[in-house]
DNA sequence: CTCATTTGACCAGC
DNA sequence: GCTGGTCAAATGAG
């Protein structure tokens, strides 16, 4: 109990610190942009890296907060309630057995209550669309559809660990009609798999691709977290409503109020540089970002984001 | 051989 | 009936 309380407070403080740090980094970037009409690519990249690190750390905390000791109230709405077990007892037999049933439940009704948010990602075509998808999550494409009124087909991805870890996160990638270099990525559901956000090694048969990515990602994230913890300076000032819920992620006010401006101009690299390993021309893109865990509430969350890839 | 992608078919919601 | 979302067999890549 006591530990739960202190952990809750600790999460809150950590999140607050990270949020502030990210704000400062964004301000720095803004300052760079305003003072020097065009910051050098190195500067830009550096800021993006910093932001990315903060972002990762925040997400790690969110994840921890959602499954950690604080045992925050089950996100009854945000996740498929029936079978998402965050306690790590996947019961794979049952999973497979109940796969259809679960589909029937989650695919039809629960899909609507899953947290949903959208990111717009711009890719520099010169850099090509192939490259490491180093987002910490691995996705498997399961469908592609021509969408009415859209010039480009929409691709559907789900978490590779769907059956193994009962992770029901999905995403849709839609290339923009107006600007073909922009991909609109809609994420649905949150990752319940422990890839990328935990140190738990993959189960019996580690998939080469993921393990390669994950080890790197996990290292980075853990490093960020460790560094942060090491330098943690407890401060409760400015503990505002943004960080009242450890398991919920609230974008800083500047995000939510000015996200178009800020994200477009200052939050490039929101998660990381990532490009798709896909080579097929119909398989445009397989980017992914770190997923916010437990946006909480019954409302589906929508967030728009523009990521510039250089 | 294993795993990911492709793609036509199916299903549910509007 | 139309459209978007998902399934699953076929196919390809490593």
CA-based Rg of chain A, rounded to a whole angstrom?
Answer: 19
Strand B close to A209 by CB, under 7 A: yes
Model confidence pLDDT, tens digit, residues A27-71: 776 666 565 555 565 566 666 666 666 666 666 565 555 443 333
Strand C close to A212 by CB, under 7 A: no
DSSP, res A198: S
Distances (CA, A) of A53 to A96, A165, A171, A185: 36, 26, 23, 21
Name the nearest CA neighbour of A310 among A59, A43, A55: A43
Q: SS3 for A185?
A: strand
Question: A144 pLDDT exceeds 90?
Answer: yes
Q: How far is the CA of A3 from the C1' of B1 (A)?
A: 50
CA-CA distance, A235 to A66, in Å (whole number)? 23
How would DSSP label each residue in A108-176?
IIIHHHS-EEEEEEE--GGG-S-S---SS--EEEEEEEPPTT-SS-EEEEEETTHHHH----EEEEEE-
Strand C close to A148 by CB, under 7 A: yes
User: How many other C-beta atoms lie within 10 A of the C-beta of residue A177?
Assistant: 12
Name the nearest CA neighbour of A196 among A86, A85, A290: A290
Mean pLDDT along residues A201-225: 38
Question: A138 pLDDT exceeds 70?
Answer: yes
Name the nearest CA neighbour of A147 among A120, A118, A114, A184: A184
Nucleotide C2, nearest residue via CA and C1'? A148
Q: Please state, for a pLDDT cut of 90, what percent of chain A lies above it.
A: 5
Model confidence pLDDT, tens digit, residues A83-112: 333 333 333 333 333 333 333 333 333 344
Question: How buried is A21 (Cβ within 10 angstroms: 0-12 exposed, 13-18 middle, 19+ buried)?
Answer: middle
DSSP, res A241: G
pLDDT for res A306: 54
Strand B close to A278 by CB, under 7 A: yes
Name the nearest CA neighbour of A138 among A40, A216, A46: A216
Strand B close to A101 by CB, under 7 A: no
| pTM for the structure as a whole | 0.47
């Amino acid at each position: 109990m006591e530990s739960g309380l202190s952990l809750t407070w600790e999460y809150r403080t950590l999140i607050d610190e990270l949020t502030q740090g990210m704000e400062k980094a964004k301000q720095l970037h803004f300052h760079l942009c305003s003072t020097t009409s065009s910051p050098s690519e190195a500067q830009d990249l550096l800021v993006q890296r910093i932001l990315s690190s903060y972002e990762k750390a925040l997400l790690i905390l969110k994840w921890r907060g959602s499954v950690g000791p604080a045992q925050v109230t089950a996100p009854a709405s945000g996740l498929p309630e029936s079978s998402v077990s965050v306690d790590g007892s996947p019961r794979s037999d049952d999973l497979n057995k109940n796969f259809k049933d679960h589909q029937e439940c989650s695919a039809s009704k629960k899909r609507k209550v899953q947290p949903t948010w959208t990111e717009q990602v711009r890719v520099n075509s010169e850099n090509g669309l192939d490259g490491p998808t180093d987002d910490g999550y691995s996705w498997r494409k399961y469908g592609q559809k021509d969408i009415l009124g859209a010039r480009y087909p929409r691709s559907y991805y789900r978490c590779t660990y769907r059956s193994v870890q009962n992770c029901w996160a999905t995403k849709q990638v839609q290339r923009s009609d107006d600007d073909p270099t922009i991909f609109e990525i809609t994420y649905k559901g949150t990752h319940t798999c422990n890839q990328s956000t935990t140190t738990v090694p993959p189960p019996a048969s580690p998939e080469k691709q993921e393990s390669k990515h994950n080890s790197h990602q996990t290292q980075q994230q853990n490093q960020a977290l460790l560094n942060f913890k090491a330098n943690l300076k407890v401060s409760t000032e400015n503990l505002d409503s943004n960080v009242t819920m450890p398991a919920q992620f609230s974008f800083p006010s500047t995000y939510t109020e000015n996200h178009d401006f800020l994200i477009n101009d200052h939050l490039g690299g929101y998660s990381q540089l990532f490009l798709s390993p896909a080579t097929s021309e119909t398989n445009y893109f397989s980017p992914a970002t770190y997923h916010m865990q437990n946006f909480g509430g019954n409302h589906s969350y929508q967030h728009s984001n523009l990521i510039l890839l250089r």
